[in-house]
Copies of this chain bind each other. A is one copy, B any other.
């Protein structure tokens, strides 16, 4: 899962070749940030930092990779020593400050600030954007789903609809940070220690001659852990089959139709047979709005399996994540720089993000130059996470998840609202 050094766009290599030839070896600072929030998000949840640091720590060009690069026409103007010395010995030796994973964050606020020799900071642009922005998109969506579920359990089932299995594994981690209770994708369980969950597919039921044999066979093998899928043929008939057979499954899953009406009828059938402990969970094209509706209806559903909406952040599948040069060393001094493209202006200089609290509620953020004094009652969000290429710490995933719960809870209630939420105020003290 470690990314190769070729996880970069061709132009990054062309440019670092050019910097090498022209002797531009001074330091530079780049900011990774989101230009604007998607219309359906009032806040983002930072995630993906640990994978990004893994990449920076392990970044090396293998001989085979260098030999491939030699064959590229675009790099043919570069001298031999660029390949043989410079790339062969390339390491990331820079400093990184970042917003901790699990922290709510807003547009224009750097999630990551890289200060390194210009070429090192440039080469890693593509991978840093991709590896931080996708998990951030998923954690942001997942945070809304957790909010909607209002304490009911939420399970991430989205691997099959993710943009490849690798994306599914990353999505599972991001969803867990944002408060999901479990995931279905086994590799994420092994790699990150995320609790796994799963029930039974329709194909299990179809593999048997009839539903009663399918259910009793499953119960025979898995006993009190069994969770049955109800809607392969007819959900209510299946519920009656279970109740009459004397099986006592831990739960049942509804994956189609109207879960509000069906869950009420299933509950009635189960209760009539004394199956008060058998839980009903729902899945099937759920998102935070549908879940909020189900919760508001009072339907007897105790958990939700959410797939595509989480693993692809389907209503906002990409964030406007960018990585922009903010300052560069000239004659030994760092000089702030700015881009002025229409609609894409940047804020210059080395920055800090402050979160201002009143009675433990976050009331505004302030984006300042790092050298400015701290605003009153404020905490800095950008913290040193890597110095001279060496990572400073490695929090556990459960710490990150805990932190996320606390920090999201510090946002004003009207910012967390799923629909018509209020914008959170980000004050910027820097001239653009």
Contact = CB atoms under 8 A, between A and B. Distances in A.
A272 interface: no
A408 to B, nearest CB: 23
A159 interface: yes
Interface in A163-200: 163-168, 170-171, 184-187, 189-190, 196-200
Interface stretch (A203-211, A289-297, A371-379, A390-398): A203-211
A256 B342 contact: yes
Nearest to A255: B341
Contact of A217 (B18, B78, B203, B223): B18
B11 A232 contact: no
B6 A339 contact: no
B318 A314 contact: yes
A343 interface: yes
A333 interface: no
B341 A202 contact: yes
Contacts of A343: 256-257
A328 interface: yes
A8 interface: yes
A3 interface: yes
Interface of A: 3-4, 6-15, 17-19, 21-22, 24, 28, 30, 65, 68-69, 72-74, 76-78, 118, 122, 125-127, 129-131, 133-134, 157, 159-168, 170-171, 184-187, 189-190, 196-204, 206-207, 209, 217-218, 220-223, 225, 231-234, 255-257, 308, 312-314, 317-318, 321, 323-325, 328, 330, 337-344
Closest 4 CB pairs between A and B?
A11-B198, A10-B198, A317-B317, A163-B163
